[in-house]
Amino acid sequence: MDMTKLPRPESSVKKQLDLTDKIIVITGGAGFLGMNFSEAVAEMGALPVLLDINEKDIKEAVNILSKKGYKSDGFVINITDKNDVQRVIKNIEEKYKCINVLINSAAFAMKNLQAGGDGFFAPFEEYEEDLWQISLDVNLTGTFLITQAVGKVMKAQHAGVVINVASDVALISPDHRIYVPDEHFDYKGVAFNTPIAYPVTKAGILSFTRYLATYWAKDGIRVNSISPAGVYKNHDPKFVEQLAFRIPLGRMAFPEELKGPIVFLASDASSFMTGANLIIDGGRTIW
């Protein structure tokens, strides 16, 4: 191969990170992390297209972005329904003529406490099969269906970027001790935990990422993932203390600290990266 005949990347880092006019589809776009990702790419010039299951949440998210001076769009979708996924992606393609980046942020996780009820945090021995199944449906099948549909668009374009959101517990086991009472720390415990379906499905996302990275490499599509540790969202201080004790940097992540990695992976600044997993965990997984 004659490298001298290949197009070189921009020498300017600012230009490499520029996302002007990029169409970036974000599943779970109206959620906690999805909104942070939307703000990040919008700030760099992209148009985030928010996909979520709740129409009210999407409208509120688009309104919030608008008040901050960012343009965005939103579509209601059930990512576990193949027909619905195909319909929405077709509408986006027809409206914007391309899809440059897909961020798979949707997951059945903490925000589903009310939907899951007490069973969502049941011990493994009593964990309900239907909650196990819905986690598989959303976290794996939903990601599969949306990526499959968007991948067809990207393959026709001969270009695209997919970013999958995994987790630190895709690499290590959750430390079950941080959820239960501990008299030594005057800690009463919390009413939640990390149910088995979450790390299992997130580990699957890492394999999904590697598979597609090699499969689509020849088509100009890059596929990477991020694995964040716990992201702070007004957690109980005692819980934060327990988790922070197990992180070398001594704290949880702030949601703003995921913006840079997302922009990096979405942009040409990461043009020679595919199949990689960026671990954003304050060092937790190295202990």
How high is the pLDDT of residue 117? 55
119 pLDDT tier (thresholds 50, 70, 90): confident
> What is 92-155 written as a DSSP string?
HHHHHS---EEEE---SSGGGHHHH-GGGG--GGG--HHHHHHHIIIIIIIHHHHHHHHHHHHH
How high is the pLDDT of residue 108? 84
Among 84-88, 108-112, 166-170, 257-261, the minimum mean pLDDT is found in: 108-112
Average pLDDT over residues 210-221: 98
Query: Pseudo-torsion of CA 152, 135, 259, 19, nearest 10°?
Result: 10
Average pLDDT over residues 108-128: 70
Tell me whether strands 221-228 and 101-104 are parallel, antiparallel or unpaired. unpaired
How high is the pLDDT of residue 277? 98
How high is the pLDDT of residue 118? 61
Residue 208 confidence (pLDDT) above 70: yes
CB 180 within 8 A of CB 239: no
Q: Where are the domains of the chain?
A: 11-173+198-235+254-282
Q: Share the mean pLDDT of the chain.
A: 94
How high is the pLDDT of residue 10? 93
Average pLDDT over residues 167-177: 96
116 pLDDT tier (thresholds 50, 70, 90): very low
Residue 164 confidence (pLDDT) above 60: yes
Which CATH architecture fits 11-173+198-235+254-282?
Answer: 3-Layer(aba) Sandwich (3.40)
Dump pLDDT digits (tens) for 146-156: 999 999 999 99
Sole residue written with tokens 């970036």: 24
**Which residue did the predictor score with more confidence, 69 or 193?**
69
Residue 95 confidence (pLDDT) above 90: yes
Among 6-15, 60-69, 118-127, the minimum mean pLDDT is found in: 118-127
Give, to the nearest 10 degrees, the angle between helix 32-43 and helix 55-67. Answer: 40
Residue 109 confidence (pLDDT) above 90: no
Average pLDDT over residues 246-263: 97
